[in-house]
Structure 1
Amino acid sequence: MNRKNITAAKYEVPPARITRARAKTSSSLGGISPSSRPSFKHEQKHAPRENSKRAASDENKTSVVATAGIHQKRKAVLKDVTNISYEKTNINSISKVQTTKRARGGPTRRKMKEGSDVLAEIPLVQEDVKTKLAEELSKIRMVEAQESTLTVKLEEEKPVLQDVDMIWFELGSCKGPGIVDIDEDLKDSQMWSIYASNIYDKIRVTELERRPSTDYMEKLQQDITPNMRGVLIDWLVEVSEEYKLVPDTLYLTVNLIDRFLSQNLIEKQRLQLLGVTCMLIASKYEEICAPRVEEFCFITDNTYTRGEVLKMESEILNFLHFHLSIPTTKSFLRRFIQASQSSYKAPCVEMEFLANYLAELTLLEYSFLKFLPSLIAASVVFLARWTFNQSDHPWNPTLEHYTSYKTSDLKATVLALEDLQLNTNGCSLNAVREKYKQQKFKCVSTLTSPKLVQTLF
C-alpha cells in the first residue's frame, strides 16, 4: 500500500461490507453504490466555504447596522433603532431554518421546544424596545420644551440684568424717607451686599433658637457664682490679647461657656478647664492659625493636662451637637456700626472703638444674658453716638430700619450699659478697660458723656 492510500485510509470512512444480495438490490434499483459515497474529508472542504460566505454576509449586515446607528445618534441620544430590523431578519432566518429542519425530518423534541421558547421571547423584546423608545422620545420632547422656555425667559431677563442700577435704586427708594441705603455696593464682586438683609433676617431667628439660659446660676449651678464667671471671662480677655485672637473668638468663647453651663452642673475646680477648652474650640472655628492644645495647658500653668483638655473638648462638642455657627453681639455690631456711620461725612473711628469697648464690657456681666445680642449691639451704638455728640439725638430712621428697634425698645439696655461705662458698681475686673486704654484704641475707655442718657427717653 503506497502513501496516498495510507492517507486516504486515515481520513476516509471505510466502506461497508458488500454482500451479493446488497449488490444485486442496488443494481436493480439503479442506486448509488456505497463505495461512491463522498468521504468526510470531502465534506470538510465544502464547509469552510459556506461558513466564509455566511461571515461575509453577516459583516455586511453589521456595517449597514452600524452606519444607520451613527446617523440615528446625530439626531438624538437614543438606542440603536436598526436593531429591530436586524432582529426581524434573524426571526425570518430562524423560521426558515425551522421549516428546513422540519422538512428534512426536524430536530429532536428538546430542540424544537427551545426554538419555540426563543420565538415566544422575541415579541416581548420588541415590545420592550418600543416602550423604551417611547420613553426616550418623551424625555427629549420635555427637554426641548424646557430649553425653549428657558430661552424665552433669558431673553425676557436680559434687559432687566442690564439695568441693575435702576432696580437697586427702586429697592432703596422703597425703604422710606430719611433712610440711607448702606448696601449700595452691588457692583463690588467681593461684597454682594444684596444678600445682607436676608442674612441678618436669618441670624435674628437663630439668636432666639440657640441662646443660653438667663437664670442657670440660680436654677442649676451650685458650686459657682456670677462673680466667678466674671473672673474667668476677664482672664480669657487677657488670654485673647496674649495670643492676639480676633474679637469673634472671644465672643464665641463666652457663648459656648454659657450654653454649656445652662444645662451642665460643674464644679469650681473645673471652671477654668471649661473656659480654656471653649476658647480652644472657638479658636479652631474662627482663627486662621489657632493656638495648640499645649499652649492652652501652659497658660493655665499646667493645671490641666492635654488629655483632660481633649476630653473636655469632646464633651462640649457632643453636648452642643457641633452647633458653633452662633450670632453674637459682634455679628450684629458690624452691621449696626455701618448703618451708624452713614450719617457722618467721614467714618468716625473713635465711635467704632467705643462701641466695641462697651460691647466687650457686657461679656463680663451675667445680668446681660437676659438681653438679646442684637438688642445689646443696637444699645451699644446708641450710647456710643450719644457719648460723642450730645447735640443731636443718637437714633435716626436709618438705624431704626436696620436694627428693627425703636428708641423705646432700647431704654433698659442703654441704662444698664451706662452703669457699666461709669462703673457705678465699682467692678474690679479691669482687663477690658486696660485693653481699650491703649493708644491703638484711642483710649476710648476713659470717655464718658457729660449728660446722662436718661434724658433721651
Structure 2
Amino acid sequence: MNHSMARQADMNKENVHSANIQKPTERITRARAKALGISGNLPPLHPLAKQEPKQGQQPKSKRGPSDNKFSSIDVGSSFQSKRRAVFKDVSNMPFDDLNIKVINDMANLEPAVCVTNMAFDDLSMKVIYDMVKVEPAVCVGSQGQKGKVKEIEDMNKQSIKELREITSQLSIKVDSSNDEEILDIDSKHKDPQMCSLYAVELYNNLRVTELKWRSSSDYMQTVQQDITQEMRGILVDWLVEVCEEYRLASETLYLTVTLIDRCLSKMYIEKQRLQLLGITCMLIASKYEEICAPRVEDFCFITDGTYTRREVLDMEYQVLEILSFNLSVPTVKKFLRRFILAAQSSYKVSFVEFEYLANYLAELTLTEYEFLKFLPSLVAASAVFLAKWTLDQIEHPWNPTLEHYTNYKASDLKATVFALQGIQLNNSPRLLAIRQKYRQKQYKSVATLTSPKPVMPLT
C-alpha cells in the first residue's frame, strides 16, 4: 500500500513538470532545435503516434544527448515543406510590360552588315546567315505584342533575302586600274584552316613584321671576324641534307636559316662553334614547326659526337635569350605559298611542276649571303616570276593578279630576278645539296629546267 502511494506521487511530479513546458513563441531554427534536443527540453513539433510499451519495459521520458533522430527528421521535414512553398513552377507566370520589353529587345537584332568588297566562302556565308537568322522569342501576351514579333520575323526574312542578293552579285573579279581582271584567290576555299576571311590582314601583318625582324645584310663585315660567307653557305648546304635525313618540313629549313642569320647579326661566334649554332637553330625550328621534333641526341649524333648534349642545351638557351624568344618571323616560304596560289589562279588545273620550280628557286637563295639584302616577300615574288618565265616565254610572267597580291610591280623585281637567274644558270656550283634534292623524280626534276633565253627587260 505504501509502495503504491509512493509510486503515484512520483508520477504526479512528472506530470506537473511536463505541464510546465510552454510552447516556443519563436521560429525553431536548426541550431536551436539541436540545442533543445541536447538539453532534453525540445517540445514536439508534430503529434507523435502513441506506441504501446512492451510488457516489463518502462517508457522513457527523455532522450539521451546522443539521440538526435527527432531533431534531424522532424525539423528537416518542416524546412522542406517551406522550400516547396517558395520555389514554385514559374512556367505559367504572366508577362508584365518589363518581361515583354526584354524579350522583344532580344529578338530585335540587327542583321549583319555585308561588306561588298569582301570575299565570302561557303563557311563565312553560313556564319553570317546564322547571325542574321535569329529566331525571335515566343512572347505570351496581347495580340499587339504577337503582331510585333511577327513584324520582327518579316524584317529578318527580308534581311536574309537582301544579303543573298548582294552576295550573289559578288564577283571574283576586282576592278583594276588597267581594266584587267584581278582574280580573287580566297573565294574558292571551303577549308576553314585557310583563313580566307583573314588572309589579307594576315599577310599585311607579315609585310610589316618582315621589316621589324629582318637580319642584318652586312654582319659579316660588322659583327663576325672568324667566319666567312663561304662557311655560312657550307653550313646551310649541310643543313639541307639534315632536313632530308630526318624528313623535316621545308618551313623548318627556312626558319632555321632565318634564326642563324638573326643570331649572327647580334653575336660574335667562332668558326668552331658555327655548326653548333646551326644544329641548335634547327632544334628550335623543329620544336616550332614539326609535330614530332628530333631529340637533342639526334642532332648530337648527326655531328658525329662533335658536340655534347650539354653544349647544345647551353647554346639553345643563349640563342633564345639573344632573340628574346621572338621566333614567329616571316620567311620566304610563308610568302611563297600565297604567291604560288595567286599564280596558279590563271591555270585551269593545278600546275605541280610550277610549284616545285618556284620552291627550288627560293631554296637556292638560302645558301647565298648576298640575298639577305632582299626582303623575304621580294625573294618569293621573284621566284614565282622566274619560275613562270622558265616554263613559258611566250606570255609575260607578271599579271595584275600577282601584282595585286604581292604588292610588287614587275620593275620592282628586276635586281632580284636577275640575281636569281644567275644562280639558276650556274653550271659549276660549289653547293649541290639543293640541286640534288630537286633533281629527284618526286620533285619532277625541276632542277634540270632552265629557260632557253634570258628574262626579258623588266619595266
Distance 1:164 1:332 in 2: 32
The equivalences for 1:16-31 within 5 A come to none
Bigger helix fraction: 1
SS at the partner of 1:239?
A: helix
Residue in 2 that maps onto 1:444 = 446
Which of 411, 414, 418 is the aligned partner of 2:417?
Answer: 414
SS at the partner of 2:182?
A: coil
Residue in 1 that maps onto 2:305 = 302
2:19 equivalent to 1:42: yes
The equivalences for 1:48-63 within 5 A come to 52=45, 63=81
Cα distance, 1:297 vs. partner? 0.9
Residue in 1 that maps onto 2:148 = none
Show structure 2 runs of 5+ residues with no match: 25-40, 48-70, 113-131, 133-155
Cα distance, 1:377 vs. partner? 0.5
The equivalences for 1:45-444 within 5 A come to 52=45, 63=81, 66-71=84-89, 144=103, 147-150=106-109, 154=132, 155=156, 157-159=159-161, 162=164, 166=168, 168-169=170-171, 172-174=173-175, 177-188=180-191, 191=194, 193-423=196-426, 427-444=429-446
TM-score (norm 2): 0.70
CA distance 1:255–1:70, shift in 2 (3 Å): same
SS at the partner of 2:395?
A: coil
Cα distance, 1:64 vs. partner? 6.2
Paired amino acid for 1:410? L
Residue in 2 that maps onto 1:88 = none
CA distance 1:445–1:42, shift in 2 (3 Å): closer
Deviation per CA, 1:76-127: give whole Å up to 9, x if none: 9xxxxxxxxxxxxxxxxxxxxxxxxxxxxxxxxxxxxxxxxxxxxxxxxxxx
Distance 1:241 1:447 in 2: 22
Show structure 1 runs of 5+ residues with no match: 14-37, 77-136
**Is the CA contact (8 Å cut-off) linking 1:333 and 1:377 kept in structure 2?**
yes
Cα distance, 1:163 vs. partner? 5.5
Residue in 2 that maps onto 1:5 = 6
Distance 1:300 1:455 in 2: 46
SS at the partner of 2:21?
A: helix
SS at the partner of 1:338?
A: helix
**Is the CA contact (8 Å cut-off) linking 1:273 and 1:309 kept in structure 2?**
yes
Deviation per CA, 1:347-384: give whole Å up to 9, x if none: 33332222111111110111111111111010111111
SS at the partner of 1:52?
A: coil
Paired amino acid for 2:448? T
Distance 2:101 2:319 in 1: 52
CA distance 1:260–1:152, shift in 2 (3 Å): closer
Deviation per CA, 1:213-233: give whole Å up to 9, x if none: 222222222222222111100
Distance 1:61 1:247 in 2: 71
SS at the partner of 1:456?
A: coil
Segment drifting more, 357-366 vs 148-157? 148-157
CA distance 1:254–1:67, shift in 2 (3 Å): same
Residue in 2 that maps onto 1:109 = none
CA distance 1:146–1:273, shift in 2 (3 Å): farther
User: How many residues matched?
Assistant: 370
CA distance 1:74–1:215, shift in 2 (3 Å): farther
Deviation per CA, 1:44-68: give whole Å up to 9, x if none: 3878997637999998898467434
CA distance 1:339–1:46, shift in 2 (3 Å): closer
CA distance 1:220–1:8, shift in 2 (3 Å): farther
SS at the partner of 2:183?
A: coil
Q: From the CA coordinates, give the structure whose radius of gyration is larger.
A: 1
SS at the partner of 1:398?
A: helix
TM-score (norm 1): 0.70
Cα distance, 1:323 vs. partner? 2.8
Deviation per CA, 1:141-189: give whole Å up to 9, x if none: 99646523337662265335656851542x6344663212222314455
SS at the partner of 1:205?
A: helix
Paired amino acid for 1:166? S
Distance 1:57 1:290 in 2: 66
Residue in 1 that maps onto 2:129 = none
**Is the CA contact (8 Å cut-off) linking 2:389 and 2:455 kept in structure 1?**
yes
Cα distance, 1:9 vs. partner? 5.4
